[in-house]
A and B are shown apart, each in its own frame.
Chain A
């Protein structure tokens, strides 16, 4: 989780900046929510240099076109010191106005591409760094200006250098969401086979795998992805690679698994019929991973960012369950601990991340909707009372009610008497249940009434009372 470590480092500074960070975070969260409502939720990633990782990113150098122009001039004309100039350029390009100036300048991109493909390896690295900064821009005009470089970036994906490949991948990933033109060009230039071979060849290099999966996820989030991109992806070897990376490496961290899980989520939720993915064992793998994560959470091993992995896995399992026919469910879900893990997840995240708990409940619903085995598992493991207790806090009452009623249906059908009465909550016959369940109380009450009648009888026997028959 090297990215999370970085953020913590930033936040570990004096309290003022933590408060600012929190405020900034809230504002950004609001902006993100609005973007999601507008269906325009995109994010770009900026890869920081090692020497910059510990420092504050904000620059206080005077930015501006002046610097850019002079730097470009120097780059064009100097012979030996290009690397230093490129480094300076990449720093200057952090500033949005400098980025705009750069792309408006004539031949700037041409120059950069030339340096990217030159013979000096260090220059190439710095040049790709400049491109990366450009791609991270929030202006929609800037990233398409980098289009001339994309064929080279794609070619370099199969290269051996880690840092360089990572930068290429993140640059491509940042460029993807910006416009349809960019995506079409990338697809035409063969980004999907390139990504597939990149992951395959660099399987041992998890940083590269993470970057590749990120790029793929950016591609898959496009609006036209279901028609254009996803069929191509499904035909390639990418799904199997994604599934193989899903198990997190304890040393490197969860990051590659997170990216792959999100890619799988986008793949699964965009297609109605997930036969190929099911055939490749997606459901069994995701569910067994969920089980192990649920176990980790129950043990109290709440690693930071675990929910980042749990979230997409839940969604994958939930949607896969809807495409998997009931008969094959057992074949795919060999792990019977899934219901227990899901319940554990609900309880663990109920208060900290209620949205996650809600999605877990959704998965439980899908799991037990048509399958009697899982219903009975829930009942035998006595998980239902726990779930009932959580109902008020969840406010997704509709789903849990469905589930509980399903189970009751099943048990009444099979005439199971294992705790049926105890599982009927909020029944509308309180007196009936009282009579059923408390025979002792009932007996005592009857006894008291009977004694009273008897005593009255003794008293009334001696009196000459007219019965109503005599009255009439």
Chain B
């Protein structure tokens, strides 16, 4: 959080002093190309912010000594580190809760956040696995969302009916949306949406197959229409992929990989095909 501040300080320091000592440091066998600089800070400098706040809190009689303040983590506001999430917190518990609720079980490809690992698995299987769609035409593949129930259904509509009738779920249960229902969502991340579902980009390849393979009667229940350029793109993709989607292996999982490597030039990190979000 403080890195940008540091960088800015460095440049500000250089601006504020007119030092021309670079030549000095280049002489000799000095391994460091660095110039010592005295930094002068003016009254409104960023570095002085916390001290000023401290002082004004004292002036306004809001000063609490450390002894009294210990139970609460005395941390000023900080933001969530996930790119695209602009939530700001002032307490660690808040942040923990936010992270656990929104960033834990996230689908890699469509960036949807789901409340549990099981739902995430089901989501990936049903939405992003093309083998699933093939198998679903022949056998019952849609699992009941309730753990322990174990029943399987031919279509998601059957499952939904089951959930409503047997398990008394509401008809608009958030985590049982079919793919077609999300047509209207925008491509950009909605930052103000504190709800569980985060906006995604369109599932290209698998969605394409589904469009082509499914019968027209299954066409949009919700009546959403996709934009024309999306359809064209999908048609193009489908031509390429009909030949290869058979080879899309069940093992291709969009979950978080088992072993993750970070670092320069690493391949096994989180960088998705869909473009990194900074």
Contacts and interface: CB of A to CB of B under 8 A. Distances in A.
Interface in A45-103: 45-46
Listed residue (A39, A319, A355) with the most chain B CB atoms within 10 angstroms of its CB: A355
Contact of B54 (A270, A302, A311, A405): A311
A405 B32 contact: yes
B39 A322 contact: yes
Contacts of A302: 66
A432 interface: no
B51 A28 contact: no
Contacts of A368: 36
B66 to A, nearest CB: 6
Contacts of A405: 32, 34, 36
B43 interface: yes
A30 interface: yes
A331 interface: no
Given A269-B42, A396-B9, A304 B72 contact: no
Interface string A260-301: 001001100110000000000000000000000000000000
A370 B54 contact: no
Contact of A3 (B7, B36, B58): B58
Contacts of B193: none
A398 B10 contact: yes
B187 to A, nearest CB: 32
B258 interface: no
Given A36-B49, A352-B66, A359-B51, A409 B25 contact: yes
B50 A355 contact: yes
Given A3-B58, A412-B30, A362 B39 contact: yes
A311 B55 contact: yes
A395 B8 CA distance: 13
B51 A370 contact: no
Interface string B41-83: 1111001111111111111111111111100101011000000
Interface string B214-230: 00000000000000000
Interface in B1-59: 2-3, 6-7, 9-10, 25, 28, 30-32, 34, 36-44, 47-59
The residue in A21, A32, A304 that gathers the most chain B C-beta atoms within 10 A of its C-beta is: A32
B41 A318 contact: yes
Interface of B: 2-3, 6-7, 9-10, 25, 28, 30-32, 34, 36-44, 47-69, 72, 74, 76-77, 90
19 contacts: A8-B68, A11-B64, A11-B68, A18-B68, A22-B64, A25-B57, A302-B66, A304-B65, A305-B58, A308-B55, A318-B41, A356-B51, A368-B36, A395-B3, A395-B6, A396-B9, A405-B34, A413-B28, A413-B30
